[in-house]
Amino acid sequence: MKTVKRLLSYMKYFKMHFTIGIGLVILSMITDLGAPIIVQRVIDQVITPAATSGEDYSNVLVRLIAIYFGLTVSTVITRYISAIYRMRGANGIIKVIRDQLYTRVQELPIHYFDNLPAGKIVARITNDTENLRQQFYVATVGQILINVFYVIGAFTAIAFFHTGLALVLLLLIPLMYFWNKFYTKYARSFHREERELNSDINGKLNESIQGMQIIQAFEQEEQISAEFEETNGKWYEVMRKYVILDSSFQWTFADFLRRVSLLLLMIYFSTQYINGTLGISVGMLYLFGDYVSRLYEPIKGIIQQMAFVQQAIAAGDRVFEMIDSDPEDNPTDKMTVTQGRVAFNQVTFGYNEDKDVLKNIQFVAEPGETVALVGHTGSGKSSIMNLLFRFYDPQHGEITVDGQNTRLYSRQSVREEMGIVLQDPFLFTGTIYSNITMDNPKISKEEAIQALKDVGGEDLLQKFEKGIDEPVVEKGSTLSSGQRQLISFARALAFNPKILILDEATSSIDTETEEIIQHAMDVLKKGRTTFIIAHRLSTIQHADQILVLDQGEILERGTHDTLLTTDGVYAEMYEMQKKGQTIAS
């Protein structure tokens, strides 16, 4: 019930739309329930007297037909306009919810996404919100209200003409209550499990599409298909059980109640007729039959909508779980970076609190210095960069930029004077220009072009007909690794950061492109504090400081020449790479 109340609270954003929509629903209900009365009048005031007396009642018939037509047209028009307003309100609410979800995703800490597949997040923002739109704000708020008004209207009309019959039919209310309680108990668990499995299916689809090259390269199609079929099979089994429950209690139960009520109605009036006490006309008999039938259509509709309510509650729980997730602790004070001096002071960090990946890291990067981080996979190189960008915060120690503890300032201001070039650069759908500037209005097209030229990307401008306005598809999949890397370098240069991070920026490109980018790196590093994570030790020989990490600790530090003379881990790594290059040549 808590979720339903919260979903209803969103209607305040579009109060006018729903007020008009519901008001027109009530009006359409009144006009629609007036139609059987007109038919009753035609039977009792036109057909019956005409058959017995032979008189002409055409004037009365025309008047009644005109009223019936007017009521029908009014019902259609009011329902149409009501549907428009209610749909607009529903669409608007889903926009609000999706905006809230997307905003919250931007505010969530990076560790929130560590164990949550992208497909599941996408499913909550798209599938679950669409489910809320259709099953709650359109079907539930709209149709259930319409059906409730129709039930009230039909009961009122029956009570107006025959109070005793209306009182008997009121027995339907406790029957519906107990049915709904039973149905809800079992349906809710089915819907919750169905939404979770649907999310798993989305996650597997997303993962399969993203990794299709690897799947096909390692001939894992059958294995991946088997895993998908297993999850899909679980979804099918849950839905099979739900269909049995739904068909038994939603359709069979409603039809049973309707037929029993009509049977009781026939028995009641037949008994009165046989006993000679029937005091109603043929038209009134039609009227009662029509209203009883009309009473059960909305009741049947309410029963059907209860299934949608359960689906909406399951989707709403998942949506609100994400909206209610705690955002990152983000101070409001802004950091001002003037020099770019970075210091790690006894920093200890672990992605899980019971396992440290960095232990007592201590170093200083002076303004304009180049610091290289080397070490085997898992040694902690990328973790240092994650902490510097405040994607995570250390459990112990502090990180300072120009003497300012980064934890005390907003994450945005900490990152404002930092630029990064990743091993596998990420490009967004748009153009080369939009990927360099990230749509920052402070960077002009001329500056973007110059940045691309400075990093050696002039050939890139000449190769494409539209130059810097060349379209880029998702992830830049139509560009080579080197081209994507050049655009990524140009992006970093265009933003002109005080602190630059190069995360294995030359590891995935060919030798020719590496020479171009190596020159670009020299241009990019000028006047900036630069951190380089590199597997190719040949790219960091001129670094001012090299930190050799192993299992989260700094084993060695110094320049390239100094470390070679110590005959330690760095020297061993350098000799191994040197031998590998000699063999390859």
The four Cα atoms 264, 267, 271, 277 give a dihedral, to 10 degrees, of: 60
Task: Fill in the DSSP letter of residue 280.
Answer: -
430 pLDDT exceeds 90? Answer: no
Q: At what angle do helices 282-323 and 2-9 cross, to 10 degrees?
A: 90
For range 92-99, the mean pLDDT: 93
CATH of region 424-496: 3.40.50.300
Q: Look up the CATH architecture of domain 2-323.
A: Up-down Bundle (1.20)
Task: Fill in the DSSP letter of residue 125.
Answer: I
Residue 238 has a pLDDT of: 86
Place 584 in a pLDDT band, splitting at 50, 70 and 90: very low
Model confidence pLDDT, tens digit, residues 540-574: 888 999 999 999 999 999 999 999 998 889 998 88
Buried b (16+ CB within 10 A) or exposed e, 437-459: beeeeebeeebbbebbebbbbee
The one-letter amino acid code at 584 reads: A
Contact 253, 300 (CB under 8 A): no
For range 504-532, the mean pLDDT: 71
Domain segments of the chain as ranges: 2-323, 333-417+501-508+530-585, 424-496
Give which of 498, 480, 493 is closest to 427, Cα–Cα: 480
Contact 496, 488 (CB under 8 A): no
- Both tokens assigned to 398: 């502090």
User: Percentage of the chain with pLDDT > 90?
Assistant: 21
CA distance 45 to 36: 14
Place 585 in a pLDDT band, splitting at 50, 70 and 90: very low
Mean pLDDT score of the chain, rounded to an integer?
Answer: 82
Q: Which of 23-27, 50-54, 365-369 reaches the highest mean pLDDT?
A: 365-369
- Both tokens assigned to 114: 């560590």
294 pLDDT exceeds 80? Answer: no
Model confidence pLDDT, tens digit, residues 356-394: 999 999 999 999 999 999 988 888 998 999 999 898 999
Alpha helices in 43-117 (DSSP H): 48-53, 58-107
Residue 545 has a pLDDT of: 94
Per-residue H/E/C for 459-498? HHHHHCCCHHHCEECHHHCCCCHHHHHHHHHHHHHHHCCC
Residues 6+ positions from 210 with CB-CB distance below 8 Å: none
User: Percentage of the chain with pLDDT > 70?
Assistant: 88
Place 510 in a pLDDT band, splitting at 50, 70 and 90: low
Residue 582 has a pLDDT of: 47
CA atoms within 13 A on the CB side of 425: 29
Residue 557 has a pLDDT of: 94
CA distance 365 to 335: 18
Contact 44, 64 (CB under 8 A): no
- Specify the 3-state DSSP secondary structure of 207: helix
- The CATH fold assigned to 333-417+501-508+530-585 is Rossmann fold (3.40.50)
Asked, colleague to colleague, whether 333-417+501-508+530-585 and 424-496 share their fold, the answer is yes
